[in-house]
Copies of this chain bind each other. A is one copy, B any other.
């Protein structure tokens, strides 16, 4: 014990003068800080700030029954616009290469997770109503969004209008699933149809994104765009998804059987991420978005494959991925928020564009109710449940901001410019915010309808699984 005391005294003696020096001294090397270093220390404080904004913003929104992703986005918007009050410290973060790369890796892992959660079996299970709802909910908003864009920003290239139509297709039913869960209606027919349609929408949305992106790249490269080449791009996108699944089904079991013989730590996680990144790279290599590859990777990693590694399940992989997505995914959404220029909200034309887009997004999804062929289902609730755009719309807009197209004057500019980006963000926020109250009202209105009857066990489990996504 006396030894210990002596140690403490020595440490304290060393500490007292040191403590005085540390913050006072403006000694050599003071500002030279990261000079010569590979990693800009700015990235470190940037990530710390982003995590803080994400968790506080997310918490605040969840307290009000809203999804955390909106809190991250709006938190980012507030911090990013501190520059309006003369705070310029945040500005370098908006364009930092490393922070941007971390955000993109976050989205890739997010889509990988979404892919892991959905599988072909589920998609075939959900039935015709879900398929029709999904297809109707893609077609209507696509053309409405295209039309709105053509009306409000006529000077932009036609492909830019089409891209905006594509961003309106996505459905992000996390929030709907949460509302249904909170109301104890997760195991109803409405829930099953909406959640099933959302899975199909993920696939269809990615295919549309791939096609539009391919068309934009072809145009940017000076190739004239024929109907035939659109067809080829479509085939390429569909072919990539299903080709990856086919090849995966043949190859992946062998890889996992081999990996099962490795005893080192972290083999499952490293292998899964390697497969995800290889397919993301392959997708980017053939001109698709990297997230298409990540989604395909998630789809092809089936339970049966993972179980070839002794003692490992898909659930383990989920648990291992969670810390990575917890840190990286919010970086994407906060960064998206940082890039929104709030001054756009003071421009009437942008607000008008945003309002029109929002209306198109809402009305477009009401067409979904026509797709419901089951009898006695609350069609209105299905249409309302498909409204929120959430993260998928943002991801599309983010990709659009990095694609370049020549404008009327022949100068390259981003497909989604700052003003359009602000309008899309407003659309995403509004559609996500209005869904819970509308859905609650609709479901409460006919509480005795047959769609409130619980489904048999196996299907109930699927719906609960899908609802897991809400907590993201």
Q: Which residues of A contact B (CB under 8 A)?
A: 3-4, 7-8, 11, 14-15, 17-23, 25, 27-30, 32-39, 41-45, 47-48, 51-52, 54-56, 58-59, 62-63, 68, 97-98, 100-101, 103-105, 108, 120, 124-125, 127-128, 213-214, 217-218, 220-221, 223, 229, 232-233, 235-236, 238-240, 242-243, 246, 262-267, 269-271, 273-275, 277-278, 280-281, 284-287, 290, 320-324, 326-327, 330, 399, 402-404, 471
Which residue of B is nearest A37, CB measured? B402
Q: Which residue of B lies closest to A71 (CB)?
A: B264
Known: A98-B98, A281-B44. A236 touches B19 (CB 8 A): no
A243 to B263, CA, bound (A): 42
Question: Smallest Cβ distance from A256 to chain B, in angstroms?
Answer: 13
Decide if A27 touches B236 in the complex (CB within 8 Å): yes
Once bound together, how far apart are the Cα atoms of A14 and B234, in whole Å? Answer: 11
- A7 CA to B200 CA, complexed, in Å: 13
A243 touches B19 (CB 8 A): yes
Q: Which residues of B contact A39 (CB under 8 A)?
A: 100-101, 104-105, 290
Chain B nearest Cβ from A217, distance in angstroms: 4
User: A22-B236, A44-B280, A236-B27 known; A32 and B221 CB under 8 Å?
Assistant: yes
* Minimum-distance CB pairs A-B, first 8: A18-B239, A29-B287, A266-B326, A28-B218, A29-B217, A22-B239, A41-B284, A39-B104
Cα A281 to Cα B47 with chains together (Å): 11
Q: List 7 A-B contacts (CB under 8 A).
A: A4-B124, A18-B236, A22-B236, A22-B286, A33-B286, A44-B284, A266-B323
Q: Which of B18, B43, B45, B285 contacts A41 (CB 8 A)?
A: B285
Out of B17, B30, B37, name the residue touching A286 (CB < 8 Å).
Answer: B30
Contacts of A402 in B (CB 8 A): 36-38
Determine the distance from Cα of A232 to Cα of B18 in the docked complex, in whole angstroms: 9
Complex interface: chain B residues within 8 A of A11 (CB): 120, 242
Contact: B264 with A55, CB < 8 Å? yes
In the assembled complex, how far is the CB of residue A263 from the closest CB belonging to chain B, in whole angstroms? 7
Minimal Cβ-Cβ distance residue in B for A234: B18
- Which chain B positions have C-beta within 8 A of A240? 18, 22
A304 to B399, CA, bound (A): 44
Among A14, A68, A326, chain B packs the most CB atoms within 10 A around the CB of A326
The interface residues of chain B lying within 8 Å CB-to-CB of A23 are 243
Find A235's partner among B18, B51, B63, B403 (CB 8 Å cutoff).
B18
Cβ-closest chain B residue relative to A54: B270
CB-defined contacts of A52 to chain B, threshold 8 Å: 270, 274
